[in-house]
A and B are shown apart, each in its own frame.
Chain A
Amino acid sequence: MVSGHVGCAGCGAAIAMRFFLQALGNQAIMVMPACCWSIIAGSYPMSSLRIPLIHTAFETGGAVASGVRAALDMKGDTQTTVVTWAGDGGTFDIGFQALSGAVERNEDFIYVCYDNEAYMNTGVQRSSSTPYGAWTTTTPGREWKRMRKKNIVEALVAHRIPYAATASIAYPQDLMAKVAKAKAIKGSRFLHIFASCPTGWRIPSELSVKIARMAVQTNIFPLYEVENGVKYTINLSPKGYLVREYFKLQGRFKHLSDQDLSEIQNMVNEDWNLLLRKAGLPQVQGEHM
C-alpha cells in the first residue's frame, strides 16, 4: 500500500488494509467488490496497492475470487493467496449469497470484510451490519435503526469453514496474527475487521482508532476466532467499559436516550454471554461485563 490514496482523513478501512497486507505479504491477488476501497485503491491509471487487484461488481466477492483461485489452481500456483476485500454491504447484504456459495464450496481463499457498519461509498446508508440505534442517511431522525446487527461471523461459522475470526484496527498485533494464521490454513477463511469511519459515524478523525478500541473494550465487537465451526477462542478479555461511553463519542448515536442506551447495554451483555457460552466460559452478570 502506498500514500496518496483518497480515503478520508482518519479512515479505519485504510488502516485495516495496511495491517492486513503487512501480515499477508505481496504474494497475493486481491478481489475487490464495490465499496469505499474501490475508490481508495485509486482511479485509472493509479493504484494505491502493490499487489494485483481486480475490482469487481458489488455482489461478486466470493465468486470472482473462486474464479481467480480456479485459474491459479490450473496454473499449479499454490503460493499465491487469493483474497477478497469487501465492505459490510458487499458481505452481509448483496454479496452474502456469493460468499455463502464460495465458503460452502470451501474455496481456498481469505475473505476479508472490513466493517464500517453502513454503505459508506454511497453516502452512509444502512446495511444489515449497521448497529441497533444508529443514524444513517436511510435511517434518519426518529427512524433510527431498530434492528440488530447481523452476526456475520456466526453465519460463516454455520458453514463450518476452517477459520473465522474478528479483528480490529485498534489491535494490530491480534489482527496481524490472525492474518498470518489464516494465511497458513487451506480452504475458506473469513476475517471480520472492524474499521471505523469518521465520515459516516460522525466522529472526529483522530478518534478513529480509539473508538474502534472501545468497541472491543465494551464487548460490542469482541475479538475471537472459531476454528472448523466449533472451536471458539476469545482473544481478549476487555477492561469492561460501558457501552454508553462508546456511544457518547459518536454523532450517529447522539439521539439515543438513557433508556435506549441501557437497552443496548443489555443486548451487548446478552450477545457477550452467548459468545462466552460458545467458548465454554462461565456467564457473567452485571452492567460492567
Chain B
Amino acid sequence: MKAKNNSIRLPERLLISRSYTTSESNKTGSWRYLMPRYYEKTAPCSVACPAAEDIGRIQMLNTQGFFKEAWDTILVENPFPAVCGRICFHPCEKVCNRGRFDEAVSIRALERFVADTAQRYKLTSGIEPMAFTGKRIAVVGAGPAGLAAAHFLHLLGYDCHVFEALPEPGGILRWGLPRYRLPLAALQPEIERIRNSGVSIYCGQAVGRDFLHSAGETYGAVFMACGAQRMPLLRIPGEDLPGISEGLAFLCSVAQGGGPGFQGTAAVIGGGNTAVDVARCLRRLGARAMIIYRRRREDMPAFAEEIELALLEGVELLELYAPIRIEKEGNGLRLTLQQMKIGAMGADGRMRVVPDENRIRELTVDQVFKAIGFEAAEPWHVPEAGAVSHLKLRQAVLTQGANSVPVVYCGDPVTEIQSVVHAVASAKEGAMALHVLLTGGTAAVAETLAAAAVGPGGSLSMEAFLKGERLNRSSHVVAYEEINIDHFQYAPRMIQPRLLQAERVASFAEIDLKISAGMAIREAERCFNCGLCNQCDNCRLFCPDLAVRQEDSKRGRRIDYDYCKGCGICVVECPRNAMVLEEEQDS
C-alpha cells in the first residue's frame, strides 16, 4: 500500500529572513532632540587684528597652497600685507589660541610670505569693486591711512584723488621706516597696486587749510590723513643746541640715501619705535648708540622684538633716566640725567616714574637725537571741535560742517595707537562710515558699522560690510578650551630665518629673510583655524549614521537631518568649533 499524503506542494519561493532592501527607509532623524549645525565662529586673532583680517581663513588657504586666494582675502581688509607682514606689531599673535597649546602661529611671517609671493608672481587682485557711485573723494596725505582710505573707497565704488605734499607717496613707510625692516621693494608694489586699481595719486601737492572749504566744488567728501610728524618739545634747557636733531628727520635722510657716516657716540632720547630705529640706523652708520628712556624697558612703546634686536646689534639702553639739561662740552654735548624710580600705579595702568632723590648722572656724547612721539603738524589736521555733526568713531572721526562736504579724519592723529595697521583700520572705518553717511544718513552709521564688527573688539571687516560670507559667522570668539586639541600634534613655531648678527649692522639689508612655501604651509598648518571649517571632514568621517553627506557646495558637506540622530559627535570632533549643537526646535 502506498502512503497517502495530503499532497502539499513545495512553495515556489523561499520565505526566509533574507534582505531585499536597505535600511534607508528608517528615517532615524526622528530620534533627534539635539541638532548639530554648521556655525562658524570668530577667531581671537581676527578680533585682535585692528584690520580684522580673516586670519584663520588665510591660513587655511595657505595650507592648501592657495596663496593668491589668501592674498585676496587679506587685501579686502588690508591693502598692505607686504608692509604689515614685516612691521606690524601683530597683536593677533598675542591672543593666538595655539599659544596656549605650544606657541603662537607666526601670523605675520605668513602674511609677508603671501604678499611676497603675490609680488614675485606679479599677481593682480581678484577683488571686484562695487559699482561706481558717481562720487569723487579727495584724500589728503598718501601715508598708509590715506592710501588705505583710497583703497577702501575705491572698493566701495568711489573715485579717489590722493594729494601728497612730498614727492613720493608712502608717508612714514616711505620716509621713516628704515630699509632693514621695510625695503622699498616691498612697499612700492603695494602702492602701485592701489594706484593701478584706479586711484589717482598726486604727489608734491601740499593741501592747504582752505581746501576743506573749497573741496565741495569737486569732491563729495574729504579724507584727512596727514599723519602726525611733529615732534613735541622736550621742555628742557639746551634742547635746541646745534648737534641735537629730530629722529624722524634723521631717518628721513637715511631713507633718502644712506645718511651721513658717523663715528662717535649718540644719545637717543625716547622709547618708541623711532628711538629704536634711530639707534639701530646709527649702529649701521658706525656709531655707538645709547637709548635714554625715563621708564623701564618693559614700558617702552617700541615693539619688544625690535628692542631685542637693537640690543643684539649693540645698542645700549639706559633705563630710568630722564634728561634734565643739555649743554655744550667741547665738540660734544653733555647730558644731565635724572635717575628715576618706580612710583605708584597711574590711572592708565602704567607705573608712574618719579625722580629718585637727587641722583644725577652725566653723560657726554657727540650727538643727541630726540624721538619722543608725535603730534599733528597743523591744528587743522585734526577734527575741528565746532563742526555741526561730529561723529567720533573708534579709530576715525567724521565731521560735517554747515556748508561743507563731510570730512573724515583718520590715521595717526586720531587712532588709539600709532601704527600702520591702526592707520588701515582707521581708514576702513572712515570709509565705511562715509559710505553709510552718503547712502543712508548719519543715523545709520553706528548700527551698520556694528554689523560689520568682528567679535566684540570693534575691528571692522570690509567683507562683512560688503555682506560677504563672514557675515554669517557667530561673533562668539573661540576660546582655547573650545578647541579639540586631540586633533593637533605639538609642532614648534617656525624659526624666522635672519641675517647673521654680524651681517645685520653691516648694511641696511632686510634682516628677516624670506621663507619657503613648504615652511609657510607647515606653519599655516599649525593654525587651529579657530571657529572655521577647514574641510577637515571629521564631521563626516566620524558620523555613526552617515548623515553627513558630501555635496557640491562651498562647504562641501551637509547634514542629512532625515537620518541625523543628534548624537553630537560631529560637534565635538570638529577640532575648531565650527559647529554647534542646539536644542531641536519643535516644528
Binding site for B on A (CB under 8 A): 1-7, 9-12, 14-15, 18, 42, 44-48, 50, 55, 169-170, 172, 198, 204-210, 213, 217
Contact = CB atoms under 8 A, between A and B. Distances in A.
B22 A46 contact: yes
Contact of B24 (A4, A14, A45): A4
28 contacts: A1-B546, A2-B24, A3-B23, A4-B22, A4-B23, A4-B24, A4-B25, A4-B26, A4-B27, A6-B23, A7-B544, A9-B567, A10-B565, A11-B544, A12-B544, A42-B22, A42-B23, A44-B17, A46-B21, A47-B19, A47-B21, A48-B22, A172-B542, A206-B569, A206-B572, A207-B572, A209-B572, A209-B573
Contacts of B240: none
A206 B23 contact: no
A200 B21 CA distance: 30
Given A11-B544, A15-B542, A42 B19 contact: yes
A206 B567 contact: yes
Contacts of A12: 544
Given A4-B28, A5-B26, A45 B567 contact: no
B74 to A, nearest CB: 33
B546 A206 contact: no
B529 to A, nearest CB: 19
Contacts of B19: 42, 44-47
B22 A47 contact: yes
Given A9-B566, A11-B544, A198-B567, A3 B572 contact: no
B23 A47 contact: yes
B486 interface: yes
A205 B542 contact: no
A52 B446 CA distance: 65
B118 interface: no
B541 A172 contact: yes
Given A44-B19, A45-B20, A210-B484, A6 B566 contact: no
Contacts of A42: 19, 22-23
Contacts of B28: 3-6
A45 B565 CA distance: 22
Contacts of B27: 4
Contacts of A47: 19, 21-23
Interface string B388-422: 00000000000000000000000000000000000
Contact of A10 (B20, B24, B541, B568): B568
Given A9-B566, A47-B19, A207-B572, A3 B25 contact: no
Contacts of A15: 542-544, 569
Contact of A3 (B32, B547, B566): B547
Contacts of B31: 9
Nearest to B570: A206
A7 B23 CA distance: 12
Contacts of A169: 542
B560 interface: yes
A42 B19 CA distance: 9
A50 B19 CA distance: 11
Contacts of A170: 486
Interface in B563-583: 563, 565-569, 571-573, 581
A228 B562 CA distance: 46
A18 B544 contact: yes
Contacts of B543: 15
A204 B568 contact: yes
A61 B23 CA distance: 24
Interface string B480-518: 000010100000000000000000000000000000000
